[in-house]
Structure 1
């Protein structure tokens, strides 16, 4: 986008809902974020409520009329849910179908059967990355923990040697790769190209997960040498089924939306003619909605049917897949409302005006903002949606590739140093039977490595593409 087009867009944009100066807007941002942090960490309020109250606090301190602040919040919430809500729902359905049919177990068992010894950590990171594509982070942990414990016990491995690669694979997918909620919201906020973001995300994710997973696990296993805890393993889905889908069809189903979205991005680059019939076809089949919907429908036949699912069972799987995402949708929506309140109050333009005089690169600024919010709130999703709202104006004059890198910089920053205010911290601690200090040395440090390595790779790519 040219500078002239940016100025034209700015001229057409509605005026801010407040006439506050930069100093007052800066204070308003700090107050709004402080309210969110305090409500989440001190009062243990749900992130949806905290974001709602924080948005209204921001508008009030910025001097915006309450009715206009409410309108900004609700319009942002609505547009965000409209943009990514269906995608999150489809991803949840595909993940639940993968888990209930035994397809995830089939991927796990097939890869583990071909790996052993020194290859086992690499097998675990591969399993987590593939299974983690359609699954939310918490679901992926619950699904893979029994496998991690089983492999560590049977193979007499250090728990960290096996567990860290699995956690790294899940975490990198969660922070960098759509269709996970955080990346989707950031893509929507800065108007990035999803296919390009996905392609560059994979380029960043591969070396990041290798360094933070198999390589770091060697160090983590020496620092925290603990065996798999003696506890009753949760029953795996396939143990309740007479049969389960094959490895090939399962893997193809999981990778189908990724292939379709990447194909669209490739055709857009090669053809670059909106009137071309081929490009128009790929614009449809490679859109996130159609790609994920196709994977779900294909999954009914490649996952559900081989597992012996009846129509009623498929319906139950869909319903169970949708129920847990209500909270996620509300948090994502409220984050979009907070973002819109920031923009309508003039905070986005303020960031744009001030950053012109800074020597700090926009991508590094986005990473630092996401890091600060992540450390304060403990939520990668809250950090992503808040940082995306703050830096969205910086994307106006960026190229397609740099806008995609802006999304990845935000995602990388949102993973920085998970600690005691993050639910994931306690999930890992309890499942692995670790002490708080041991969790910091392993899980928290692993998250920091992911954030720093991914952020560095993003900055490096920005010099190349």
Structure 2
């Protein structure tokens, strides 16, 4: 579920496919989620099938016509796969290149040599935060998780001790720091200053990622002690390779998507003219698809050719790299289908209607509304867009700093407790080889820690700004 292209579109107002009241919709949401959890945990049904059945159950309890429920589900599945499917595929190919060429071995061995056991979680959160600044969450996951799994296995580290900091760095950047789409939409809605919001966002992000990453990972590692899943670990490259790619060449290949996307974001900010030729060029070159595709093509020359790969072997590598992600794509797509069913039945609007009567301070109200919509729809950007639209009138009399904090309060709330209606939940579950319960204890709790800690720091800053 690529946040920009899928969730922003899903957030556009639509006519609900049912006339059910708030009480019935609330029951439908609980019933749909209960069906999914029960089918997976009790009957051990595949998550793709469980999400499909849960979406139909949600629509049935909401009193929506079955044909329209099917349309909502398939639309959500299609747009999610369309948005994230190619990115996951390209990321998988790049990961396979890194593994089979020996480039990943070079990165991992260098990290293990220069970072000790205690410093590894801190090194991982720093790398993830830097990479996560311009990247979509899913792109960061597919680039980083293979490295996380290899470091955990070869360094004999707890998977959660290494993985949670990486996920925290990516998630915090996504929710709080422009140029990610959620914060940008909120900035536009409340007419906040982008530079001030970026500065305050980084100020809030630093302590938040420390608490939710290296510090929380200590507890997550105790609660869930699992090995890195063998099926997802890139195997050590064959010793028959002509030679390993150099550390510098490998690092450049990995960072190329980051550089291209960051360049696009900077040009968008500096030029700020959609008709400008330079900006249009960077909009194309810096798009996630082109950036990852460029990295894959570069990898042929920086990774595979030095390792002695011929044309036929390159083709076989691509095919093998795509095979393991078929199940992940279906699960992530079904998660997007369930989310779209929630939106089309009017659940997001129900939350907005109920929250209009809440009498609380603006920053706390913004956080609570975003939390409620996030829990109901599973979409961080839908939560951000909806909450920003609702509280925008409150920004009229605020200072520049206060409006920036309003954006950050919304962003913090939009990350609260990712669960079964979030495609990101299933992405993390499958990559780390976790059960639903283990994913809740680690990923879901980590997201909640991020939301609460970031919200608390926003409120503290409001006392001095």
TM over 0.5: yes
Equivalent position of 1:59 in the other structure:
59
User: 1:250: how far off?
Assistant: 1.0
Distance in 2 of aligned mates of 1:414 and 1:44: 21
Distance in 1 of aligned mates of 2:343 and 2:58: 11
Deviations 1:389-438 (A, max 9, x none): 6776335468898779856654463389xxxxx96899589xxxxxx9xx
Structure 1 gap ranges (5+):
1-8, 150-158, 179-185, 374-382, 417-421, 430-435
For the Cα contact (< 8 Å) 1:368–1:413, is it kept in 2?
Answer: no
For the Cα contact (< 8 Å) 2:18–2:63, is it kept in 1?
Answer: yes
For the Cα contact (< 8 Å) 2:35–2:50, is it kept in 1?
Answer: yes
Distance in 2 of aligned mates of 1:14 and 1:128: 36
Equivalent position of 1:100 in the other structure:
100
Equivalent position of 2:306 in the other structure:
306
| Secondary structure, aligned partner of 1:112 | helix
| 1:78 and 2:78 matched | yes
Distance in 2 of aligned mates of 1:117 and 1:348: 44
- After TM superposition, the structure 1 = structure 2 runs for residues 342-353 of structure 1, keeping only pairs within 5 Å, are 342-353=342-353
Distance in 1 of aligned mates of 2:320 and 2:279: 37
Equivalent position of 1:19 in the other structure:
19
Distance in 1 of aligned mates of 2:330 and 2:63: 26
| Secondary structure, aligned partner of 2:318 | helix
Equivalent position of 1:170 in the other structure:
166
Match of 1:143 among 132, 141, 150: 150
| 1:414 and 2:431 matched | no
Match of 1:457 among 454, 457, 460: 454
User: 1:70: how far off?
Assistant: 1.0
User: Quick one: structure 1 residues 136 and 114, their matched pair in 2 at CA, closer, same or farther if it must change by over 3 Å?
Assistant: closer
- After TM superposition, the structure 1 = structure 2 runs for residues 40-55 of structure 1, keeping only pairs within 5 Å, are 40-55=40-55
User: 1:73: how far off?
Assistant: 1.2
For the Cα contact (< 8 Å) 2:143–2:254, is it kept in 1?
Answer: no
Distance in 2 of aligned mates of 1:388 and 1:238: 43
User: Quick one: structure 1 residues 427 and 320, their matched pair in 2 at CA, closer, same or farther if it must change by over 3 Å?
Assistant: same
Distance in 1 of aligned mates of 2:41 and 2:299: 39
User: 1:267: how far off?
Assistant: 1.8
For the Cα contact (< 8 Å) 2:351–2:369, is it kept in 1?
Answer: no
- After TM superposition, the structure 1 = structure 2 runs for residues 314-353 of structure 1, keeping only pairs within 5 Å, are 314-353=314-353
User: 1:19: how far off?
Assistant: 1.1
For the Cα contact (< 8 Å) 2:414–2:451, is it kept in 1?
Answer: no
For the Cα contact (< 8 Å) 1:128–1:166, is it kept in 2?
Answer: no
What is the TM-score when the length of structure 2 is the normalising length? Answer: 0.70
Q: What is the Cα-based RMSD across aligned positions, in Å?
A: 4.7
For the Cα contact (< 8 Å) 1:164–1:214, is it kept in 2?
Answer: no
Distance in 1 of aligned mates of 2:80 and 2:103: 31
Distance in 1 of aligned mates of 2:206 and 2:240: 34
- After TM superposition, the structure 1 = structure 2 runs for residues 270-419 of structure 1, keeping only pairs within 5 Å, are 270-358=270-358, 359=360, 360-367=364-371, 384-385=378-379, 393-396=386-389, 409-411=413-415, 413-414=417-418
Distance in 2 of aligned mates of 1:13 and 1:414: 23
Structure 2 gap ranges (5+):
1-8, 132-138, 175-179, 188-193, 228-232, 393-402, 421-427
Distance in 2 of aligned mates of 1:286 and 1:396: 28
User: 1:453: how far off?
Assistant: 4.0
Distance in 2 of aligned mates of 1:173 and 1:298: 26
| Secondary structure, aligned partner of 1:290 | helix
Equivalent position of 2:6 in the other structure:
none
Distance in 2 of aligned mates of 1:203 and 1:314: 44
For the Cα contact (< 8 Å) 2:99–2:237, is it kept in 1?
Answer: yes
User: 1:55: how far off?
Assistant: 1.0
| Number of equivalent positions | 404
| Secondary structure, aligned partner of 1:323 | helix
User: Quick one: structure 1 residues 95 and 369, their matched pair in 2 at CA, closer, same or farther if it must change by over 3 Å?
Assistant: farther
Distance in 2 of aligned mates of 1:398 and 1:277: 36
For the Cα contact (< 8 Å) 1:107–1:127, is it kept in 2?
Answer: no
